[in-house]
């Protein structure tokens, strides 16, 4: 597996989201009624993202919105593999990430040209995932997740949010549970240099908890790993500003700027062109050369 072009601490890396689902919370799902053209649609979106400055393309075939139904591995593979193959063939210099918690999907995507794995369940959902990451030697994004369906509240205009999620200490509990996932990785033979941590903003946290987590992101630097944040268009922005997903650009930009200032190394976003500019401007302030 080729080494990836990341030099942590020098600049912020931008991950563009390609949702191959019909039910994305953000309204950007590329599948819809275009299942037969998903690879072509993904190519077009990817070309725009790369031209705008995306470093990574994150390909996902299962929605993580509150209330979304689980997708079988076979269905997920049917959605993502044609697109991963097409992207790897057409954009060989761009890093492709597979957004999945299923080892079978990750393995097939890596065979098809993906070069990193984004696991929203932090290696806890599938015991075969950590050994796969170790065997392939690829980077893995380990995300914190306390998502439970019965703690979700869904409003038609603003989407889903989590309520009544209990933490003894939000930051310390999140850090501790992330390190438990890192321990799973280590036990399987995953090296530290493969690990990227994501505190899981929007996953099993209330609006207030998400805001606190973002503001205190710098406290996760002590864990010693690069940090990714995925705040783009999320419901905590919508509930804060009383805006639907399609009107959360400025709110997302604020979270990205604060996140970078607090230590984020990678930002996972829908609006790549705008957020590349936000990242470059914020980097010029907090990472002057």
Written in H, E and C, the secondary structure of the chain is CCCCCCCCCCCCEEEEEEECCCCCCCCCCCCCCCHHHHHHHHHHHHHHHHHHCCCEEEEECCCCCCCCCCCCHHHHHHHHHHHHHHHHHHCCCCEEEEECCCHHHHHHHHHHCCCEEEECCCCCCCCCHHHHHHHHCCCEEEECCCCCHHHEEEECCCEEEECCCCCCCHHHHHHHHHHHHHHHHHHHCCCHHHEEEECCCCCCCCHHHHHHHHHCHHHHHHHCCCEEECCCCCHHHHHHHCCCHHHCHHHHHHHHHHHHHCCCCEEEECCHHHHHHHHHHHHHHHCCC
Classify residue 174: in a domain, yes or no: yes
Q: Point out the least confidently predicted range of 37-51, 187-201, 259-273.
A: 37-51
Residue 115 lies inside a defined structural domain of this protein: yes
Confirm whether 218 is domain-assigned: yes
Domain membership of residue 7 (yes or no) is no
Count of domains for the chain: 1
Instruction: Specify if 1 maps to a domain.
Output: no
Mean pLDDT, residues 6-21: 95
| pLDDT of residue 182 exceeding 70 | yes
Q: Once rounded to an integer, what is the mean pLDDT over residues 216-232? A: 97
Within-domain flag for 280 = yes
Which residues are tagged catalytic? Answer: 234, 268
Give the pLDDT band (50/70/90) at residue 67: low
According to the model, what pLDDT value does residue 5 have? Answer: 78
Q: Residue 122: what pLDDT? A: 97
% of the chain at pLDDT higher than 90: 78
Q: 4 in a domain, yes or no?
A: no
* Least confident interval from 25-34, 62-71, 120-129: 25-34
What is the mean predicted confidence (pLDDT) over 200-221?
A: 95
User: Can you give the CATH number for the domain in which 230 is found?
Assistant: 3.20.20.20
Query: pTM surpassing 0.85?
Result: yes
- Is 200 domain-assigned? yes
Domain containing 211 equals: 13-286
| Average pLDDT value for the chain | 89
């Amino acid at each position: 597996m080729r080494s990836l072009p990341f030099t942590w601490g020098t600049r912020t890396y931008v991950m563009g989201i390609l949702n191959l689902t019909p039910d994305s919370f953000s309204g950007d799902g590329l599948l819809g009624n275009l299942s037969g053209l998903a690879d072509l649609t993904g190519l077009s979106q990817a070309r725009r993202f790369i031209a705008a400055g995306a470093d990574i393309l994150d390909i996902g075939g299962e929605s993580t919105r509150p209330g979304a139904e689980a997708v079988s591995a076979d269905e997920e593979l049917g959605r993502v593999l044609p697109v991963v193959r097409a992207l790897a063939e057409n954009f060989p210099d761009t890093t492709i990430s597979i957004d999945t918690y299923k080892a079978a999907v990750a393995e097939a995507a890596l065979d098809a040209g993906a070069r990193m794995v984004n696991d929203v369940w932090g290696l806890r959902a599938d015991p075969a995932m950590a050994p796969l990451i170790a065997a392939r030697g690829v980077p893995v994004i380990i995300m914190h997740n306390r998502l439970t369906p019965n703690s979700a509240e869904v409003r038609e205009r603003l989407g889903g949010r989590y309520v009544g999620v209990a933490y003894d200490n939000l930051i310390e509990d999140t850090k501790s549970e992330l390190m438990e996932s890192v321990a799973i990785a280590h036990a399987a033979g995953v090296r530290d240099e493969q690990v990227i941590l994501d505190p899981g903003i929007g996953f099993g946290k209330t609006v207030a908890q998400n805001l606190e987590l973002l503001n205190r992101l710098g406290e996760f630097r002590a864990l010693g790993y690069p940090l990714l944040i995925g705040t783009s268009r999320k419901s905590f922005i919508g509930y804060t500003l009383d805006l639907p997903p399609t009107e959360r650009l400025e709110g997302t930009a604020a979270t990205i700027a604060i996140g970078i200032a607090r230590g984020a190394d990678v930002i996972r976003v829908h609006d790549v062109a705008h957020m590349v500019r936000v990242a470059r401007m914020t980097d010029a302030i907090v990472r002057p050369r």
